[in-house]
Amino acid sequence: MTKVAVKKKIKRHGLSVIFVHWAVAISTFVLIFSGFGQMPLYKRYMVDHLPLLSWVTNYSVTLSIHYWAAAVLISAILYHVVFHGIRRDFDMVPRSGDMKESAQIIMAVFGYGKEPENDKYLAEQRLAYAFIGFSLLLLVLTGSIKVVKNLSHVNFSEGFMFWITQLHNAGTILIIIGIVVHLGAFIIKENWPLLPGIFTGKVDLEYARRRHSIWYNRVRGKKR
């Protein structure tokens, strides 16, 4: 009988974090898809000819989906802010020196220099969080104004709405860049052990000890 070595795990995320991550991820993908549906692109490029996608050129349907997904996104963002605000969990908030540290991590991945000791999140993860967070807040704020503008008897000035719309469109480009960079980070093999964490909440204990030593030692210290 062969013994299978079971790798020890350490808890990295609670249910709230996993819930918020996936609520934000799924609603953001739906928002991007339905948002592009608000432009006359799908008809021109015949996306509606693809199987099961005949509805994508119906502006009313894509707008309704956009609104529902926005409600989910706003709920998840507020859940995140309130949950971590009350708990004072600010592990993902960027710190001074994160830019330099990010550069060191990237260089180390390619074999130049030594990677610095990391806390629960890598410096580049904290920066990515700030970038994606900013993009989402920009989209929520400008999108909320667009929703109010669509109500009867509400009429904002021409210049105001023009710039709100341009900011909303710019926010869309920023969030797409953020997602591409976020997912692109997993091309690097060194980051693969982080993946199970966002599904199960746990990561490999040995990986945590080796790469996230500051966090690992803090958690172990508390447990003793």
Closest CA to 208 of 117, 136, 146: 117
Sole binder of another protein in the list 55, 90, 156, 199 (CB under 8 A): 156
State the minimum distance, in angstroms, from the CB of residue 84 to another protein. Answer: 8
Sole binder of another protein in the list 13, 34, 135, 211 (CB under 8 A): 13
Q: Segment near another protein (CB under 8 A), from 105-113, 121-129, 134-142, 180-188?
A: 134-142
Which residue type is seen at 60? S
Scan residues 68-107 and list those touching another protein (CB under 8 A). Answer: 68, 70-72, 74-89
Q: Which is nearer to another protein, 64 or 95 (CB)?
A: 64
CA distances to 10, 19, 205, 218 from 212, rounded to whole Å, are 11, 23, 10, 10
Scan residues 23-62 and list those touching another protein (CB under 8 A). Answer: 38-41, 44-46, 59-60
Tokens of 167: 């900011």
Scan residues 190-209 and list those touching another protein (CB under 8 A). Answer: none
194 close to 13: Cβ distance less than 8 angstroms: no
Distance CA(210)–CA(191), nearest Å, equals: 12
Distance CA(64)–CA(49), nearest Å, equals: 21
Sole binder of another protein in the list 67, 129, 131, 134 (CB under 8 A): 67
65 close to 71: Cβ distance less than 8 angstroms: no
Q: Which is nearer to another protein, 153 or 189 (CB)?
A: 153
**How many chain residues bind another protein (CB under 8 A)?**
68
Closest CA to 116 of 190, 211, 191, 39: 211
Can residue 224 be called a binding residue for another protein (CB under 8 A)?
Answer: no
State the minimum distance, in angstroms, from the CB of residue 30 to another protein. Answer: 14
State the minimum distance, in angstroms, from the CB of residue 35 to another protein. Answer: 9
Can residue 158 be called a binding residue for another protein (CB under 8 A)?
Answer: yes
Distance CA(95)–CA(86), nearest Å, equals: 20
Helices 123-150, 98-109: axis angle to 10 degrees equals: 120
Can residue 22 be called a binding residue for another protein (CB under 8 A)?
Answer: no
Contacting residues for 197 by C-beta, under 8 A, at least 6 apart = 12, 13, 203
Catalog residues that contact another protein under the rule CB under 8 A.
11-17, 38-41, 44-46, 59-60, 63-64, 66-68, 70-72, 74-89, 120, 137, 140-141, 144-145, 147-158, 160-162, 164-166, 169, 215, 219, 222
